[in-house]
Amino acid sequence: MGSLPAIELFSTPLWKDYELLDSGDGLKLERFGRYKFIRPEHQAVWKPALQAHLWEEADAIFQPTSEESGGKWQYKKHMEPEWEMRYQDLTFMARTSNSRHLGVFPEQAAHWDWIRKQLSASQKPVNILNLFGYTGIASLAAAKAGASVTHLDASKRSVQYARENQKRSGLLDKPIRWIIDDAMKFVMREKRRGVHYEGIILDPPKFGRGPKGEVWEFFKMLPYLLQEIKPLLASKPLFLVITAYAIRASALSLHFAIQEMMGNFAGNLSSGELILNEKSAGRIISMAITSRWSSR
Ligand SMILES: C[S@@+](CC[C@H](N)C(=O)[O-])C[C@H]1O[C@@H](n2cnc3c(N)ncnc32)[C@H](O)[C@@H]1O
C-alpha cells in the first residue's frame, strides 16, 4: 500500500469584505460587504455563539423551500439590489437572486490566491480554461496574473455578470474570451481544434444544464469530462484545480480522479476541503471538496 494522501483544509485569511460572523441551529450569519445575511447551513449542528440581537441585525434571510436549493430571500431592511465587494485588487458585484448564492463563493478565494501563485512563477505566456466559471472571479484572478483566459458558463446571465466584474476590476485590457456553452460540448470542440491550455479550473455542479438543455450530472459525467479534457492539456501543464459542492463524496474521490488524469506529468497533488473560519467561536465549516495539481 502506498502512503496515505494527506487531506488538507484550505482557508481564506485575506478577506476583508467577507466574514462568517457566527453559525448554529442549522444557520450561518455572514457579512458580504456592507450587508449581513442569514443562510441555511445544515452542518452547523451546534448553538450560535452570538446573542440573538446580533442575528437580528441581518439585512436578509434566505427561506428555503423543500426542493433542493430552492427558496427566496426575506428582506428585513432596505437593501440595494447589488453592491460592490473587493478581494485584494479585484472588484466585483454581489447580489441577491432567486437562489441562496450571492454572486461570489467566498471560500473560493483560497483558489484565487493559489492560481495567482502558480501563474506568477511562470515565465511563458499561459492559456487558462475556466469551466463552469459562474461570475468569473477566478478568471479575473488568472487574467490579473498575466494569463490569457477562456471563461465558460452555460448561463448567459452569469457570463454577463462576469464581464461586468472584468470592467469593475479595471481588467478590460486583459485577454479574456467569454463563452456561453455547454462545458462538455465545448471541451469536445476544443479537442477537435487541437487547442491547448497550461491551466484548467473546474467547478462542476452536482446537476446543471447547458444553454440548449444539455444535462450535466456530476457522478455520471465527471469521468468522461476529465477524459476529454486530458488532450487539452499543454505538453507542460502548470496547474489543474477542481472543486465540487453539495455532493456526497470525500475529497479522496477527486484526489484519485485527478491522480489518474495527471499521472503522466511530474507534479504535486493536494486535496481537501475549502473552508470558512467562523469569527465568533472559531468553528470551521467545510464548503466544498477540492483537489489541485501543480507542476513540479
Ligand atoms: C458551482 S457554480 C460555479 C461557482 C464558481 N466557480 C465560483 O466560485 O464563483 C456552477 C456553474 O456551472 C454552470 N453550469 C451548470 N451546468 C453547466 C453546463 N452543462 N455547462 C456549462 N456550465 C454549466 C452554472 O451556470 C454555474 O454558474
Q: In a mutational test of the pocket of ligand 1, which residue from 108, 131, 203 has the highest number of ligand atoms less than 8 Å from its CB?
A: 203
- Contacts for 218 with CB less than 8 Å, ≥ 6 apart: 204, 205, 206, 207, 244, 247
pLDDT of residue 1: 60
Cα of 131 vs centre of ligand 1, distance in Å, is 7
Q: What is the mean pLDDT of each run of 10 residues along the chain (296 residues)?
A: 88 98 98 98 98 98 85 96 98 95 98 97 92 98 98 98 98 98 98 98 97 97 98 97 94 97 96 98 98 96
pLDDT score for 189: 98
110, three cell numbers: 483560497
Neighbours of 128 (CB within 10 A): 26
Q: DSSP per residue over 15-59, as a string?
A: -SSEEEEEEETTEEEEEETTEEEEEE-TT--S--SS-HHHHTT-S
User: What's residue 23's pLDDT?
Assistant: 98
Contact 183 CB / ligand 1 (< 6 Å): yes
pTM of the full structure = 0.96
Is the distance from the beta carbon of residue 295 to the nearest atom of ligand 1 less than 6 Å?
A: no
Residue 103 carries which side chain, given as an amino acid letter? G
- Predicted pLDDT at 66: 77
